[in-house]
Amino acid sequence: MYKLLIVDDEQIEREGMAHFIQWDKYDIQLCGTAWNGADALGKIQKDVPDIVLTDIKMPVMNGIELIQKLSETYRNIVVVVLSGYGEYEFTSQAMEYGIRHYILKPCDEDKIVAVMNDAKKEVDKRREYHTLKRELLPHAKEELFRRLLTGSRLSDDEIMALKKDFPANGDSYRLLAMKNEVSGFEYIEQFILGNILGEILQMATMPLFTYVDDMVIFAIDVCTDNSLSKAVERTLQEFARMKSKAIASAASLEGDISVAHELYKQLLYLFTMVDNKTDAGLLCYPTQNEAESNTYYFDFDRLKSSDRYDNILFEITLAMKKLQSIGLSNDEKQRIFEAFIVTWSSYVGSEKLKLLNIGGINSDESAITEMSRWIAETLNIYETGKEKERMEKILDVIYSNFDNTELNIQYIAKNILFMNEDYFGRVFIRNMHLKFSAYLEQSRIEMAKRLLEYNPDMRIAMLTELIGYPADGQYFSKTFRKVCGMTPTEYRENLKKTDI
């Protein structure tokens, strides 16, 4: 049974709703009536109802003032507003307090009962929410959830108590974060977002949520990116009717309760990947198929076994050349690198995952450098000392300008690094145990071989353009034969014969 208080200054309407509707038939007990907000507060103090049905325009204390008082002291009460034409200003104020149930005057029993049924459902959700919260005392479930996400260690009893609030008992769920970098979210706003989201996703109960920094984070049922994106869009549209905020959103991959901290780190990572987060829609990781497909462009085993920074640079430059050879757009290349990060983290172990702002990389050259340095960090490949750092910079320049036919010591020393040519040569030999010209030739020919392995039908003109040889191909063919003992064409035919 649900207890109802009716508040209206018009006696005919108040008494009509009280006496002509058979409330018992709808599992509702009428616990009283009041003629204004002040009168209603006095009666609520004596007998707290589940639902308050209130008019807006009333003397002494109007409906908005009553709603404000209830939001401060009686948060469990569900308010239904009676609204007439021309009262939009008042109803919009009510929406700011999270009011979601309205009856437009004039109204009949059918309209009133339909809205009351919705209000009863919200009462049920709030009852369930507070029952579950009491079961987790003395630790509120939001605090337990926050500690779980941020990596704090929970006891077995705390995890067992928290699991029942997760979808599928914590065995399979996703995290969804909504972020406002300006002012964050007040508690009532977090609750409203969760209430709307739960209804749209048709979850059995209101989703478990907590607040970390400027993010409200929900544990939700597993669903596709597309359906979740639509649900988030509808949620934010509904919320915007009550409060105007710039809200960004991101969703983790699927996981169980044991990997909650890793899923939380995925959310943090996703928010670093784009600059204008609120216009980007729901941020999601690439699908597993997209991630796995990147083994076609990246050699994960070679990368993982790398013990030198230049080996990493070579592999990432090679991947970029593959993407360039098939004419992908910048957005498509970015998506592939994002997918690579997902797969790479599983290779090196998620505890070594670093955050990399792929969205802030604005050229192929900077992508090569930033990705290579990020991978070196995940593999703990660090060079210390001024000369080692200078050598890393030299290598960055080489691979960022790999397709430049003018690339030589003079060009790098004079135009990019602004150092003495002789000093450059000595530093290079001392660290690489090879002259610069020999190293560059060796690297370019090796990359040519790997590109032909990737696509044996690649035209020589494209191949030379990708690795920095003159377009006519004559000098490239001569060098290739000197290093490999056969021409590029012969090497290509051998590959086709052996089905490499």
Interval 369-379: pLDDT, tens: 988 998 898 88
Six-digit token string for 393: 């910079």
Distance (Å, rounded) from C-alpha 248 to C-alpha 229? 12
Candidate from 11-25, 50-64, 146-160, 467-481 with smallest mean pLDDT:
146-160
Distance (Å, rounded) from C-alpha 253 to C-alpha 222? 9
Six-digit token string for 212: 């970390």
For 78-90, what is the mean pLDDT?
A: 76
Distances (CA, A) of 353 to 268, 276, 374: 12, 23, 9
Q: What is the pLDDT of residues 171-200, one digit of tens each?
A: 889 999 999 888 888 888 888 898 899 889
Cis peptide before 138 (omega within 30 of 0): yes
Candidate from 99-103, 139-143, 158-162, 345-349 with smallest mean pLDDT:
345-349
DSSP letters spanning 456-491:
TT--HHHHHHHHT--TT-HHHHHHHHHHHSS-HHHH
Task: Give the per-residue pLDDT at 441.
Answer: 96
Entry pTM: 0.50
Length of the chain counted residue by residue:
500
Summary mean pLDDT of the chain:
85
Q: What is the pLDDT of residues 3-15, one digit of tens each?
A: 999 999 999 889 9
DSSP letters spanning 95-129:
HHTT--EEEESS--HHHHHHHHHHHHHHHHHHHHH
DSSP letters spanning 323-348:
HHHTT--HHHHHHHHHHHHHHHHHHH
Task: Give the per-residue pLDDT at 138.
Answer: 37
Which stretches of 216-299 are DSSP H helices?
225-240, 260-272, 288-292
Six-digit token string for 100: 């979601």
Edge to edge, the sheet with strand 248-251 lists 208-212, 215-220, 174-179, 248-251, 282-284
Question: pLDDT category, 95, cuts 50, 70, 90?
Answer: confident
Task: Give the per-residue pLDDT at 351.
Answer: 42
Question: pLDDT category, 350, cuts 50, 70, 90?
Answer: very low
For 467-494, what is the mean pLDDT?
A: 93
Is the pLDDT assigned to residue 163 strictly greater than 60? yes
